[in-house]
């Protein structure tokens, strides 16, 4: 029998919208590299996150 992994051993990512960490899920096993958002809600709000990033970036006025 294979040894089970503990939840702390699973890979993590940070959601660019809410900034919270989220862990690998079995349903993401085939596409973990492409997963960017922790939830459908964050996926829908990705344009708001892009706007916040644009506003917060330092402007180069030289």
- CB distance 60 to 53 below 8 Å: no
Whether the model clears a pTM of 0.75, i.e. scores above it, the answer is no
The C-alpha atoms of residue 13 and residue 5 are separated, in whole angstroms, by: 18
pLDDT at position 57, please?
62
pLDDT at position 13, please?
93
pLDDT at position 29, please?
87
Contacts of 38 (CB under 8 A, 6+ apart): 13, 15, 17, 18, 20, 22
Condensed to tens digits (0 to 9), the pLDDT of residues 26-36 reads 998 899 999 99
> Strand 12-14 and strand 21-23: pairing?
antiparallel
Confidence of residue 37 (pLDDT cuts 50, 70, 90): very high
């Amino acid at each position: 029998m294979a040894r089970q992994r503990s939840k702390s051993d699973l890979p993590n990512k940070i959601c660019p919208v809410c900034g919270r960490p989220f862990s690998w899920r079995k349903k993401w096993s085939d596409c973990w590299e492409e997963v960017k958002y922790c939830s459908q809600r964050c996926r829908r709000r990705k344009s708001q996150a892009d706007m916040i990033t644009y506003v917060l970036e330092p402007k180069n006025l030289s």
